[in-house]
Each structure stands twice: as structure tokens, then as C-alpha cells.
Structure 1
Amino acid sequence: MVTDLNSFTEQFQLSDQAININDIPWIPQSDRVWFKPLRFDLTTGSWINLLKVKPGGAVNRHRHTGGKVMAYTLQGQWRYLEREWVATAGSYVFEPPGDIHTLLVDGDEEMITLFILEGSIQYLDDNDQVIKQDDVFSKMKLYYDYCEQNNIPIKELRF
């Protein structure tokens, strides 16, 4: 039996990863909006992606359920219609579970933000009824489908 903690840990831990994100395509999400997946964690239901939104683009009104969302803006600026703050390059944003908002990019520059998401995203109509839902599996399926349709090798992002 191994009694050294480091040796014991090495038997069970996941391998570390270094993924060239240039090998992962931008996946169309909606008009003027794309995402680039970086990780799908099927044990926690979380995923990490870059979100790219062209000026004038938006992510429709939605609610996050099942966990928090964290974001770090790399380029451009964005805001939530329901808030007064504007996230600019270098901004960190925290969203608690249950938060409802509409993401807008109304500056002159394309926005790119790293998002770490847990749980699901429920897209809402004007009566707060769920009209669509995304989670780790639906995002992973969009990635797989896009790669297959465009003859792009699928990177293993489940870790």
C-alpha cells in the first residue's frame, strides 16, 4: 500500500492539459454571437468558454440556475441591460445563481470574455417563461455538431 500522499494522488488524479485554443473553432450561438468551448466538466455540469459578441450583438434575457457564473473580459466591453455597470477589458464579473439579465455589446469593439458557468442557462420570454435552455451537454453537442458538419477535428475537452 502506498502511504506517501503524492504517490497516492498520482494514481488517481486527472492528467494536466494544455490545449491550443486556436485549434478550437468559434461556434455560432446566435446572430453576432459565438462561443469557443475550453472545457466540459460532466461531473459537475460546468463548462468554460470564450464568448465573442460583435457590436450590436446580444445574448437574450436569461437566468442562470444550479450555480454561479464568473467572467473575465479580455477585449471590448459589455453590460447587462438590467444593470448600471459596464465590464471592460480586465473586468471580473460574478453572477449568483438565479440572476436574470440580458447581455449587450453596444460599444464599437468586438467583445471577448472568458466565462466559467455552472448549472444551466434558461432563456426567458417577456412573461418569464423558459423558451430554451442550455447546459454542459447542449453546449457540448453544439461543438460536436459544428465540428462534424465542418470537417474539423474534435478536441477532447471533457476533463
Structure 2
Amino acid sequence: MTTMPPTVAGLPHVIHRSETELPFVNFMDGLAVQLLQVDIEAGLWVVRARFAPGLTLPRHKHTGEVFALTFSGSWKYLEYPEINTAGSYLFEPS
């Protein structure tokens, strides 16, 4: 029999939110984000982002690893030649 590992006191085993329960917030012109989960102590931010076509983000840094799944459209980092297209996955170490 498989048992679930103990959870942190006070935290539920599962967190479920409907897409419509969490609003998209304008972060900057051409970029809206939906905050899905945050753990400040662990440096974890889980967000869903919507980028306007043609948007160029200024150079920036992340506080931890990046796991990115592209649902539609395409995008790329200015520093790298690879283009991320719909269905692609990107991992960026911290």
C-alpha cells in the first residue's frame, strides 16, 4: 500500500482553482500575468503569462529556476537563438 507523505502543518494536500477564479493582472504594457502559486521562502513563483504580439521584454533576472510551457504563438530570449513555439518546453537553471 502506498501512503502519502506528511504535509506541512496547515497546508492542504491539494490546491485546485478554476481558471476563472484567478484574474489576469496587467504587469506592464503588453504583458498580463495570472498568479497561480507563490512560496516566497522557497523562491517559487508559478505564473501564467499572456504576451502581446511583438512584445520585447527588458533584460531581467529570475529568483529561481524557470519552467516554461508555450501554449500558443512563439517567443525567444534576445540572448539565445532558439525559438519557443506552441507545445515547446523550456527549462532555465537558476
TM normalised by structure 1 equals 0.51
Structure 2 residue runs without a partner (length 5+)? none
Structure number with the bigger relative contact order (C-alpha 8 A, sep ≥ 6) is 1
Distance 1:39 1:7, change over 3 A: closer
Distance 1:6 1:12, change over 3 A: farther
2:42 aligned residue: 44
Structure 1 residue runs without a partner (length 5+)? 98-159
Cα distance, 1:33 vs. partner?
Answer: 0.7
Cα distance, 1:63 vs. partner?
Answer: 2.1
Following the alignment from structure 1 to structure 2, what is the Cα–Cα distance between the partners of residues 37 and 48? 6
Distance 1:28 1:11, change over 3 A: closer
Greater strand share, 1 or 2? 1
Following the alignment from structure 1 to structure 2, what is the Cα–Cα distance between the partners of residues 7 and 52? 35
Q: Is residue 84 from structure 1 mapped to residue 81 from structure 2 by the alignment?
A: yes
Q: Is residue 9 from structure 1 mapped to residue 6 from structure 2 by the alignment?
A: yes
How many residue pairs get aligned? The number is 92
Percent of aligned pairs with the same amino acid: 33
Q: How much is the aligned-residue C-alpha RMSD, in angstroms?
A: 2.4
Greater helix share, 1 or 2? 1
Cα distance, 1:6 vs. partner?
Answer: 3.9
**1:33–1:54 contact (8 Å) kept in structure 2:** yes
Following the alignment from structure 2 to structure 1, what is the Cα–Cα distance between the partners of residues 16 and 62? 29
